[in-house]
A = this chain, B = another copy of it.
Amino acid sequence: MKVAKFGGSSLASAAQIKRVFDIVNSDNKRKFIVVSAPGKRSGADTKVTDALIAYHKACKAQDERGIKVYQDWIVARYLEIYNELNMDSHIIEDIKENIQQLASLPIDNPYTYDTFLAAGENNNAKLIADYFSSAGLKSRYVHPADAGILVSSDPGNARLIQSSYERIKYLNDLEETLIIPGFFGVTAKGEVCTFSRGGSDITGSIIAAGVKAELYENFTDVNGIFAAHPGIVKNPVPIAELTYREMRELAYSGFSVLHDEALVPAYRAHVPLVIKNTNNPEHPGTKIVVQRETKGAPVVGIASSSNFSTLYVSKYLMNREVGFGRKVLSALENLGIRFEHMPTGIDDLSVVIRSHYLTQPVSKNLIANLIESLHPDEVNIERDFSIIMLVGEDMKEHVGVTARATAALSEKGISISMLSQGSSEVSVMFMVKEKDEKEALRAIYSAFFE
């Protein structure tokens, strides 16, 4: 059986929902359907979720006129889809009532905001289940509480309780095609609690792991993932298959297709994932697998990401002091700063940190702490770096990958501020000045793909 998740743009209109129906209906293995809230129909449109946020704000401000405006807009949004699908069920009354009742929830309850947000997915799932059934595919709407998605009590940042998988498994016993709203679960006390935003992908991944799906299909509005950012590299090659580790490195370093967290449940359950295009379902898309046969090309993708800084600490004979590196990391940890990399020389070390951590007061504090605890010869922070990440499972076996990449940068006269190879089995990291990021990415892409 397969889990298919459809994003907001795939469910923004009646026409899109009909496509989704055709996709689901064309393969009887597509039994578990996870849906988002209706997204934008065009660039200037408003997502239902964003309207729900505004609606919540109006409730908080006791802005009666605003409340009415948003209620009407949201209900109209569902009604339009309902009408265009030529539906004829009571579901639209349910949806209307549900949207209106949100206004009477206790506004100070920490779960109320999550309940507002979740209404987008929840009502869409009800509508779609009804439509699918009316169109001839016996379907059932399943609330996350009934699906067994029990989560921690962290509004806006729910975490799955591990025992949930035991209950999710029983969804296999239901006969119908199951339509499950994404993005939220329920706490032990029955409160609605959402995952971090973009969380429908997480729901799909959880269901896939729980029912032990053979495949998790993640339908979006793109044909899959490209080997480099299409905004920087012209017509980059598409990636047919990559591993979870590769995906994780790419996602981390700038690729923004699936949220990291969404990959974990499927990865841990060894369920392969495929990213497909709702508007081009024939396209094979990009498959993410636990292991793949490598096929000669050492690099599968190249990502880049800006806004990095370095903390540099040097001290003559530093290397002799057991605990020096650990003390630097402790100083960072005490200020709540996460570090990305810590390449070290003999008597110096650099720590790569995302720039947003290093506000002026934090930087000042950090440097003062380090001077006091370590008496370094030199300590400074440098900003405006970008990271370029070459990713590929097969790189380790290929002599010369780094040689080719460094030569490409050297030819363009681009300075490598930092280079780390071999720490990770699947990536090589280059750090360059932010101003060189795009040219560096193009040069390396060209060295491996052209």
List chain A positions with a Cβ less than 8 A from chain B. 244-245, 248-249, 252-253, 260-261, 264, 267-268, 314, 316-317, 319-320, 322-323, 325-326, 329-330, 333, 336, 338-350, 399-400, 402-404, 406-407, 409-410, 413-427, 429, 431
Contact = CB atoms under 8 A, between A and B. Distances in A.
A317 B406 contact: no
Contacts of A338: 319-320, 322
B345 A427 contact: yes
Q: Looking at chain A's contact residues, is the secondary structure mostly helix, strand, loop, or mixed? A: mixed
A400 to B, nearest CB: 4
A415 B402 contact: no
Given A326-B329, A326-B330, A329-B326, A350 B423 contact: yes
B418 A422 contact: yes
How many copies of the chain does the oligomer comprise? 2
A347 B419 contact: no
Of the candidates A317, A409, A421, the one having the most CB atoms from chain B within 10 angstroms of its own CB is A421
Nearest to A326: B329
Given A252-B319, A326-B330, A347 B245 contact: yes
B260 A423 contact: no
Contacts of A422: 343, 350, 416-419, 431
A56 B426 CA distance: 57
16 contacts: A248-B316, A252-B319, A268-B316, A314-B425, A319-B340, A320-B338, A326-B330, A329-B329, A343-B420, A343-B422, A345-B427, A346-B427, A350-B422, A350-B423, A402-B402, A418-B421
- Most chain B beta-carbon neighbours within 10 Å: one of A340, A399, A415, A431: A399
A268 B315 CA distance: 11
Nearest to A427: B345
Nearest to A343: B423
B418 A399 contact: no
Nearest to A267: B316
Contact of A339 (B325, B333, B418): B325
A193 to B, nearest CB: 20
A421 B248 CA distance: 24
Given A253-B346, A322-B336, A326-B333, A402 B423 contact: no
Contacts of A268: 316
Given A322-B336, A403-B410, 13 more contacts: A248-B347, A252-B346, A319-B338, A319-B340, A323-B333, A343-B344, A347-B424, A348-B424, A403-B403, A403-B406, A403-B407, A419-B421, A419-B422
B418 A423 contact: yes
A416 B267 CA distance: 30
A417 B415 CA distance: 22
Contacts of A340: 319, 344
A404 B407 CA distance: 8
